[in-house]
C-alpha cells in the first residue's frame, strides 16, 4: 500500500489521506481511512462512457456536443443527437413537439431554456406527467452540466436544449 498524501504528523494518517492498493484484477483502487473503517469505497469515473454524447460547451449562439457545433434547438441523449427538431425557441414549444423526445424512451428530460430559466407551459407539463416521464426545467448551462452528470451515471436522460 502506498501513501499518496500524508498528514502533518509523522506516522499518522488523517481520514482524508488517500492510499492506493491493488484490486484482485491488479488495477489500483483508491482508499482512505474512512473506507477502511466502513469497508466500502466510492467508484470514481475518470473517463466518459464509451461513445456517449457529452456536451463540451455552450454559448448564447451554439452548443458543442462531441465535436459537432449546433446553432439551433436540439435533443440529445447518450446515444442520439437530433438537430432537425422543429421548435426554434422555448416559446414555440408545444406538446406536439414532444413526440420526438418520448420516442427516445427517457426516464427524465431536461429542458434547457436558454440564458434564463423559464417554466414549461401547463400543457407541456401535463404531457410529461401523462407519460410518467420526469421533467426538469432549467437554464441552458445547468441543463448541459446536469445532462453530462446523468449520462455518466448511465441514466436514461434526454435533454431538449434551446439557445433562445
How many domains in the chain?
2
Q: d(Cα 34, Cα 14) in Å, to the nearest integer?
A: 9
Do residues 59 and 124 share a domain?
Answer: yes
Taking phi over 0 as left and psi of -120 to 50 as alpha, with beta for the rest, 74 belongs to beta
Q: With bands split at pLDDT 50, 70 and 90, how would you rate the model's confidence at 147?
A: very high
- CATH number for the domain that contains residue 112: 3.40.1230.10
Q: Is 39 exposed, middle or buried (0-12, 13-18, 19+ CB in 10 A)?
A: exposed
**pLDDT, average across residues 152-163:** 96
Q: Quick check: is 126 in a domain?
A: yes
Residue 67 lies in domain: 55-161
- Confidence grade of residue 50 (pLDDT, cut at 50, 70, 90): low
* Contact in structure between 133 and 106 (CB atoms under 8 Å): yes
Same domain, 85 and 9: no
- pTM for the complete prediction? 0.71
pLDDT band at 10 (very low <50, low <70, confident <90, very high): very low
pLDDT tier at 6, thresholds 50, 70, 90: very low
pLDDT at 51: 78
57 phi/psi in degrees, rounded to 5? -175, 165
Higher-confidence residue of 97 and 46: namely 97
Q: What is the pLDDT of residues 107-136, one digit of tens each?
A: 999 999 999 999 999 999 999 999 999 999
Residue with C-alpha cell 466518459? 48
Torsions phi, psi for 135 (to 5 deg): -130, 125
Q: Is residue 44 part of a domain?
A: no
Sign of CA dihedral 24, 28, 30, 34: positive
Lookup: cell for 115 = 440564458
Amino acid at each position: 500500500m502506498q501513501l499518496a498524501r500524508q498528514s502533518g504528523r509523522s506516522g499518522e494518517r488523517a481520514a482524508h489521506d488517500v492510499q492506493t492498493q491493488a484490486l484482485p484484477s491488479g488495477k489500483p483502487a483508491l482508499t482512505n481511512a474512512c473506507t477502511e473503517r466502513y469497508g466500502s469505497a466510492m467508484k470514481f469515473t475518470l473517463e466518459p462512457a464509451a461513445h456517449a454524447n457529452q456536451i463540451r460547451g455552450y454559448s448564447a449562439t451554439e452548443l458543442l456536443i462531441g465535436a459537432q457545433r449546433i446553432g439551433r434547438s436540439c435533443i440529445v441523449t447518450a446515444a442520439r443527437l437530433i438537430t432537425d427538431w422543429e421548435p426554434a425557441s422555448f416559446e414555440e414549444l408545444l406538446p406536439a413537439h414532444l413526440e420526438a423526445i418520448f420516442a427516445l424512451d427517457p426516464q427524465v428530460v431536461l429542458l434547457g431554456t436558454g440564458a434564463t430559466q423559464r417554466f414549461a407551459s401547463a400543457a407541456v407539463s401535463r404531457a410529461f406527467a401523462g407519460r410518467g416521464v420526469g421533467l426538469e426545467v432549467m437554464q441552458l448551462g445547468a441543463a448541459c452540466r446536469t445532462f453530462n452528470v446523468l449520462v455518466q451515471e448511465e441514466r436514461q436522460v434526454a435533454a431538449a436544449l434551446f439557445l433562445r
